[in-house]
Structure 1
Amino acid sequence: MPQDRQDGPVDSQDDPFGWIDTDRERRRRAGLVRELRPRSADSPLLDLAGNDYLGLARHPRVTAAAAEAAQRWGAGATGSRLVTGSTELHAELERELAAFCGFESALVLSSGYAANLAAVTALSGADALIVSDAGNHASLIDGCRLSRAETVVAPHADPAAVAKALDGHEGRALAVTDSVFSVDGDAAPLADLADVCRAAGAALVVDDAHGLGVLGAGGRGAPYAAGLAGAPYAVATVTLSKALGSQGGAVLGPARVIEHLVNTARTFIFDTGLNPAAVGAALAALRLLRREPERAERVRAVATALHTGLTAAGLTAVRPDAAVVSVRAPSPERAVRWAADCRAAGLAVGCFRPPSVPDGISRLRLTARADLTDQQVAQAVEVITGTAPRD
């Protein structure tokens, strides 16, 4: 029979989650409480918070392709890719994505996070050395942790530090970096990193989540722009959920690397395949980008216009190398208030605070979109500057 409930304080030994209350209070005092904010399908807000860089998430061809794929293949993939989760549609997307980005082969996974874990863990191991940029995304950091490899964290965007870490190492080694860093939107020195890796006999893994669809000729990505596409020592990961407006991720690289991942990457082998609707949407978006390469040029122009307008108004914003524009905020609490004031004025912006920011400095994070008009860009600048914290 269940015991009667007793009033009064609960002994910590009887409350295994009591520590959560302490953590919650600590976050509240530091201004770091996060909460879910479900949006409606017809939100009136001007969106500079999401990652729909090319404005394709609601494009009629993309949504129609998602619906058609679901009707033909079903709502789910039904199993892991090695069992029943690989459809002809998955193979078609992999062929076209590899060809577009200039790599020999591709492997689609259920998310960009899973793609990064797959690439880093399967290409390293307990006897390997990984050199990871200090500004890397959490998925790359988690991949390093799960790999059991010796990991050296190199100062941000510092090829000389990477070379020093690799110097003298014998055996398997790889350098790992974002192509465009998600917090400030600055680009990695990929060409210099490639030179370092070639000289050291190391592999280079590049997370191109924020480069695909934005950088390179026609949006083919940062590795393509840096001349790394198809290089025998280079591997790229991408997400299908940003510029391509869908869901999922992929690893691009030499065919033997992809074959190795199929046989060894746990986030591929033991995960259900990406659902057909997301595959169909990503494939349609990729084909749209191929037909309309000007979308990549437009999103870069919008990012530049946002930066120009904000800095002209006296705000501290990082010059964008791709689609992300970062604007410094005085504190976590004031960043939250600033974002809320923007929302009240009809503009959705991202709000990045510790631990999401490696330097501990809170900021608003704006994402440019290729489908924004000049009038909407001007409106965004006016709202952000008009609601900025005043000292």
Structure 2
Amino acid sequence: MHDFTQELAGLAAQSLARTRHVVDGPQGPVLEVDGQACLSFCSNDYLGLANHPELVAACVSAAAQYGVGAAASALISGHASAHERLEQELAAFTGLPRALCFSSGYMANLGIIGALVGAGDTVFLDRLSHASLIDGARLAGAEFRVFPHNDTARLEQVLARCKSRRKLVITDAVFSMDGDLAPLPELAALCERHGAWLLVDDAHGFGVLGPQGRGSLAHAGLCASRSPHVLYMGTLGKAAGAAGAFVAGHAALLEWIMQRARTYMFTTAHPPMLAAAASAALGVIARDEWRRERLRELARLLRQGLDGLPWRLLPSVTAIQPLLVGDNAAARALAQRLRQLGIWAPAICPPTVPRGTARLRISLSALHTPAHVEQLLAALRHAAGAPS
């Protein structure tokens, strides 16, 4: 039997070994991490809904009605009225004819891609797409083509030459480690012109971007309901504060995915009480515009405050604000120094990001205050040896 001790030591030597931390209490700006209170800038709870009283109340009420677990796949007996209601609400919220819920974003992407393409087909994938999209494309058995990040000219070249029976273009809407946006209008036009599907993973834009938080398609001014080529995937465990994921699109396409997605057919449905919490989240997302306004203001304060420090923020209009460090060891050392100062902002190293681009991934929440951002900036100035 193979002993992985040497390989683990190699990861540690390259500053690539990952460590879990034990968190106590509900998600919020301040977390108890390994017994230490930390100001957290690492959560994807962008709107601050994970501990919102309306979501908690909806979850508790639904637990009394449905119990804890779904107990079966959705196609057996696991599809509760809470799931049915959530799918209808998600379709209306995104402006698309139909929605289908999955237990997680990873499972959704694996299932969607595998249902749409296979041997003899071609998948076109942005180079910085999420791991779940990459794995889904590989597992589908289709030809796999990667195009340079957000390079629509290159994508058009390879699409024009492709003779496959089915073509699927895949992209994140908001790239999770950079915070930048995909050129969705251009991608949608290319797919329309070349007879390809477009799968948009909006895990980090749903709830945050667009009018009333309706997502990146709305933010880009795209009316996806007019195009049967567009599929929209969103997650419910980030800005929505609950758990699970969904895909929305035209009815026939969604019916096909329901019939063929193995990660939908052969796994237990996510608990109805979490579907109820997600339904409650949709109301808060649409109602509380101040949460998105707060995110924009905090990002502005962060960018202003970093002037003169040795690191730079990558361009981002989202809650994801990546502070580029470069070297793996330097990024981990900076993160560790911040932890000593009571700030939790995780270091992200390869293979999650390209070599030489290790960074701190600073995630803002609507529950952060300007004082919290100033505390982070003061810690960064201290770590850089600059005057406070």
TM range (shorter): over 0.9
Match of 1:194 among 176, 188, 195: 188
Match of 2:128 among 126, 135, 151: 135
Read off the aligned partner of 2:211 and give its amino acid letter.
A
1:65-76 aligned within 5 A: 65-76=58-69
Partner of 1:264: 260
TM-score (norm 2): 0.93
Match of 1:284 among 270, 280, 285: 280
**Which deviates more, 120-129 or 35-44?**
35-44
Q: How far is 1:311 from its partner?
A: 3.9
Partner of 1:318: 314
Gaps of at least 5 residues in structure 1 are: 1-15
Partner of 1:33: 17
Read off the aligned partner of 1:328 and give its amino acid letter.
L
Q: Distance in 1 between matches of 2:133 and 2:193?
A: 23
Given that 1:307 and 1:320 are in contact with CA atoms closer than 8 Å, whether structure 2 keeps it comes out as: no
Partner of 1:229: 224
Q: How far is 1:61 from its partner?
A: 0.9
Q: SS of the counterpart of 1:108?
A: strand
Given that 1:218 and 1:294 are in contact with CA atoms closer than 8 Å, whether structure 2 keeps it comes out as: no
Q: Distance in 2 between matches of 1:187 and 1:311?
A: 24
Deviation string for 1:56-110 (max 9, x for gaps)?
A: 0011111121122122111111110101110000011111111111111111110
Deviation string for 1:249-275 (max 9, x for gaps)?
A: 111111111101110000000011011
Q: SS of the counterpart of 2:78?
A: coil
1:238 aligns with 2:230: no
Partner of 2:295: 299
Q: Distance in 2 between matches of 1:164 and 1:156?
A: 14
Gaps of at least 5 residues in structure 2 are: 26-30
Q: SS of the counterpart of 2:313?
A: coil
Q: Distance in 1 between matches of 2:168 and 2:336?
A: 42
Given that 1:54 and 1:371 are in contact with CA atoms closer than 8 Å, whether structure 2 keeps it comes out as: yes
1:17 aligns with 2:11: no
Given that 1:180 and 1:321 are in contact with CA atoms closer than 8 Å, whether structure 2 keeps it comes out as: no
Q: Distance in 1 between matches of 2:236 and 2:23?
A: 21
Read off the aligned partner of 1:240 and give its amino acid letter.
L
Aligned residues: CA RMSD: 1.5
Partner of 1:172: 166
Q: Distance in 1 between matches of 2:285 and 2:373?
A: 22
Q: Distance in 2 between matches of 1:169 and 1:330?
A: 37
Structure with higher Rg: it is 1
Q: SS of the counterpart of 1:329?
A: strand
Match of 1:150 among 115, 124, 143: 143
Q: How far is 1:371 from its partner?
A: 1.7
**Which deviates more, 189-198 or 264-273?**
189-198
Read off the aligned partner of 1:30 and give its amino acid letter.
Q
Q: Distance in 2 between matches of 1:40 and 1:344?
A: 18
Read off the aligned partner of 1:67 and give its amino acid letter.
V
Q: Distance in 2 between matches of 1:389 and 1:251?
A: 47
TM-score (norm 1): 0.92
Change (3 A) 1:312 1:388: closer
Q: How far is 1:360 from its partner?
A: 4.2
Q: Distance in 1 between matches of 2:122 and 2:355?
A: 25
Change (3 A) 1:271 1:385: farther
Read off the aligned partner of 2:203 and give its amino acid letter.
A
Read off the aligned partner of 2:368 and give its amino acid letter.
L
Q: How far is 1:312 from its partner?
A: 5.0
Q: Distance in 1 between matches of 2:382 and 2:249?
A: 46
1:109 aligns with 2:102: yes
Give aligned-pair identity as a percent.
39
Read off the aligned partner of 2:217 and give its amino acid letter.
P
Match of 1:365 among 352, 361, 368: 361
Q: Distance in 2 between matches of 1:272 and 1:30?
A: 39
**Which deviates more, 374-383 or 182-191?**
374-383
Match of 1:214 among 208, 215, 222: 208
Q: Distance in 1 between matches of 2:158 and 2:360?
A: 33
Partner of 1:10: none
Partner of 1:159: 152
Q: Distance in 2 between matches of 1:195 and 1:254?
A: 17
The number of equivalent residue pairs is: 374
Q: Distance in 2 between matches of 1:108 and 1:210?
A: 17
Given that 2:328 and 2:356 are in contact with CA atoms closer than 8 Å, whether structure 1 keeps it comes out as: no
Q: Distance in 1 between matches of 2:359 and 2:307?
A: 14
Stretches of 4+ moved more than 4 A in 1? none
Given that 1:213 and 1:289 are in contact with CA atoms closer than 8 Å, whether structure 2 keeps it comes out as: yes
Deviation string for 1:169-215 (max 9, x for gaps)?
A: 23210110000101111111111111111111111100000110111
Match of 1:346 among 342, 349, 371: 342
Q: SS of the counterpart of 1:167?
A: helix
**Which deviates more, 379-388 or 249-258?**
379-388
Deviation string for 1:270-301 (max 9, x for gaps)?
A: 01101122212211111111222332232233
Q: How far is 1:228 from its partner?
A: 4.1
Given that 2:309 and 2:384 are in contact with CA atoms closer than 8 Å, whether structure 1 keeps it comes out as: no
Q: Distance in 1 between matches of 2:281 and 2:41?
A: 20
Partner of 1:98: 91
